């Protein structure tokens, strides 16, 4: 069974005002002090101290923190890790006058504070306003692959389904104090970087790496870490990394996205081994599918992953579930995915929950307060 893990970027906010606050460095200091002494000594010079398999890391802006889970085979164990990571980060945030929230963009106006890092300063100088305004939080799912060849074959075959995943994870309707009209405005803000978006079909690992070499040779992209594709081979782990999703407001939604992602990877690998060719959907159509997903989430039409024609969102979601059903069954995840899927459809995505909170409370401060509670629900 393939292992999988999740990286969640969380927004640091003031508990009273709801505004994003630059507390990441202080939070990391607090986290290190909470580590057992033996672990603290090992981690003194590391930006990724680890305890019980969980890691925290700083991000581009000081208003964010990243929580990194261990790789797991079991969906239940991954869910427990996600909850534990959120709780650890929040406990440290409280110590430095903040809270962590699973919001993909800051609802209230904010001026981000860049991390004091040479690479970050270079990026701000090179990319201007795009870098200075960058404050988006995603959920990255890593799924193990046996080789680069299998990994690229997987990328070739799951690319058409990524807008559907992004629609399910949509969680950023507000930005700079207004309703953007989008379910995932993060998708729009993130696309300003020069190396984001869907990929062509490669056919081999050699072709994939050749494209990367050509991109780096242009000088437009700073380095390998800036290859912000919707999905890519990880440079740090033997995994494919799916990066298209907003961070999910509810832990259960993050678990659902992770389960569907692993099933997509397994289904793609099986199709490759059986000789089934990837669907030849042009990148231009995939970009339109991503825009449609960003605009409406699951509350409007999505584009059919194969034909590119408008299709009711529920029908496209049913197509996704049918496409990965065999893998879900083999992973032992089908019943859990059906439960989480029904739960999400019943209450709506994070974007819907945020808009409902605005209608209920009448303020974006109320939206942030509600998001804190949903990120850290009381134990039942």
d(CA 143, CA 4): 4
Q: Which two tokens stand for residue 59?
A: 């991000």
Phi, psi angles (nearest 5°) of residue 22: -85, 80
Please name the fold of domain 4-375: Creatine Kinase; Chain A, domain 2 (3.30.590)
Mention every residue, 6+ apart, whose C-beta is less than 8 A from residue 160: 279, 281, 286, 289, 305, 306
d(CA 247, CA 185): 12
Residues 235-277 have pLDDT tens digits of 989 999 999 999 999 999 999 999 999 999 999 999 999 999 9
Residues 3-35 have pLDDT tens digits of 999 999 999 999 999 999 999 999 999 988 877
d(CA 69, CA 57): 11
How much of the chain exceeds pLDDT 90, in percent? 91
CB atoms within 10 A of CB 20: 28
Length of the chain equals: 380
d(CA 138, CA 144): 20
**pLDDT above 90 for 52:** no
**pLDDT above 50 for 187:** yes
**pLDDT above 80 for 278:** yes
**pLDDT above 50 for 228:** yes
Mention every residue, 6+ apart, whose C-beta is less than 8 A from residue 15: 97, 98, 99, 372
pLDDT at 39: 47
How much of the chain exceeds pLDDT 70, in percent? 95
Range scoring the smallest mean pLDDT among 33-47, 103-117, 229-243, 277-291: 33-47
Give me the mean pLDDT over the 281-292 stretch.
98
pTM for this structure? Answer: 0.94
Give me the mean pLDDT over the 43-68 stretch.
77
Determine the 3-state secondary structure of 229 from DSSP: strand
pLDDT at 37: 57
Residues 113-149 have pLDDT tens digits of 999 999 999 999 999 999 999 999 999 999 999 999 9
d(CA 113, CA 135): 10
Q: Which residue has the tokens 């995915």?
A: 337
The ranges assigned to domains in the chain are 4-375
d(CA 225, CA 15): 33
pLDDT at 144: 98
d(CA 166, CA 281): 18
Give me the mean pLDDT over the 163-190 stretch.
97
Residues 72-121 have pLDDT tens digits of 999 999 999 999 999 999 999 999 999 999 999 999 999 999 999 999 99
Contact 158, 264 (CB under 8 A): yes
Q: Which two tokens stand for residue 50?
A: 């680890």
| Termini Cα distance of the chain | 30
* Segment (H or E) for 370: helix 364-375
d(CA 110, CA 306): 40
Q: Which two tokens stand for residue 196?
A: 């984001």
pLDDT at 364: 98
């Amino acid at each position: 069974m393939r292992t999988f893990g999740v990286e969640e970027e969380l927004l640091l906010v003031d508990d009273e005002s709801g505004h994003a606050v630059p507390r990441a460095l202080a939070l990391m200091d607090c986290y290190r002090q909470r580590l057992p002494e033996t672990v603290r000594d090992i981690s003194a010079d590391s930006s990724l101290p680890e305890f019980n398999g969980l890691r925290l890391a700083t991000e581009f802006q000081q208003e964010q923190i990243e929580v990194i889970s261990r790789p797991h085979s079991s969906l239940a164990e991954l869910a427990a890790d996600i909850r534990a990571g959120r709780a650890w980060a929040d406990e440290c945030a409280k110590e430095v006058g903040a809270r962590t929230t699973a919001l993909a963009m800051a609802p209230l106006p904010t001026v981000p504070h860049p991390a004091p890092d040479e690479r970050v300063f270079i990026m701000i100088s090179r990319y201007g306003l795009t870098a200075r305004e960058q404050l988006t939080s995603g959920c990255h799912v890593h799924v193990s692959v046996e080789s680069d060849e299998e990994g690229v074959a997987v990328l070739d075959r799951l690319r058409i389904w990524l807008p559907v995943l992004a629609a399910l994870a949509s969680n950023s309707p507000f930005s700079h104090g207004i309703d953007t009209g989008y379910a995932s405005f993060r998708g729009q803000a993130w696309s300003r970087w020069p190396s984001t978006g869907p990929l062509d079909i490669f056919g081999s690992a050699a072709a994939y790496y050749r494209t990367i070499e050509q991109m780096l040779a242009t000088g437009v992209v700073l380095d390998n870490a800036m290859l912000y594709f919707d999905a890519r081979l990880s440079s740090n782990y033997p995994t494919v990394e799916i990066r298209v999703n907003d961070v999910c407001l509810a832990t259960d939604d993050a678990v659902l996205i992770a389960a569907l992602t692993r099933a997509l990877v397994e289904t793609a690998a099986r199709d490759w081994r059986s000789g089934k060719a990837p669907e030849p959907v042009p990148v231009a159509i995939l970009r339109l599918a991503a825009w449609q997903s960003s605009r409406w989430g699951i509350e409007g039409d999505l584009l059919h992953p194969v034909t590119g024609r408008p299709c009711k969102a529920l029908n496209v979601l049913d197509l996704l579930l049918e496409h990965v059903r065999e893998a879900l069954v083999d992973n032992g995840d089908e019943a859990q995915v059906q439960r989480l899927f029904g739960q999400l459809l019943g209450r709506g995505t994070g974007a819907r929950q945020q808009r409902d909170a605005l209608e209920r409370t009448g303020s974006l401060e109320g939206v942030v307060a509600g998001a804190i509670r949903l990120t850290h629900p009381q134990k039942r």
